[in-house]
Structure 1
Amino acid sequence: MKSGFRTVSGKVAAILAVGMLLSACSTFQKESFTLTGVITDQGRECVTFRSDDGTLYALANKASRFRPGDKVRVTGHGALMTTCSEAETLIVDKIVLLGAAAK
């Protein structure tokens, strides 16, 4: 019985340790910045955004209602881990529509 308890408590400890490491990592990446640019159609897994300086970003959340060609202002921070593989990924804190795409 003790070996079963040790296995379970070891797994719980490992899960907690990973959670703490990930939260610590995201804390270091929390420096927010704001960019303006246009939503693009270059993403397969995530919505993509080309900033006014020409840099392509993948937007990890809060951007699914926007369409290619929409002019937006994005406030967010860099992601350490993501499923987006198109470009550097931003975790979006706030996204504001500045102008809708022409139909």
Structure 2
Amino acid sequence: MGQVTLKINGYPYVLGCPDGQEAHLQALGAELDARVSSIRAQVGNLGEARLLAMAGIMLADELADARAARPPGLDSAAAAAAAERIARLAQRLDGVASKLARA
């Protein structure tokens, strides 16, 4: 189990994460810190809990917008099936290309 110390709004937060995910968690923490800093610059220091809550709400709103903009019917199963079909097509095209190269 990995451990990362994130600095958000000047305060350290020690979080655990799966091994190998430390850099990803650092990047997420940096994004949250940037959001909190932006909010603080606009409205002042409202206290740590309020700043974090506002940043969380803003991120949740962006996530909701992204989900709403996603084409209907596109879910992870459909995406996986499409990726599988593309992989099979790529294999077939490689086979055709090999045959053409030998001809």
Superposed pair shares fold, TM > 0.5: no
More strand by share: 1
Which structure has more RCO (C-alpha within 8 Å, separation ≥ 6)? 1
TM-score, normalised to structure 1's length? Answer: 0.29
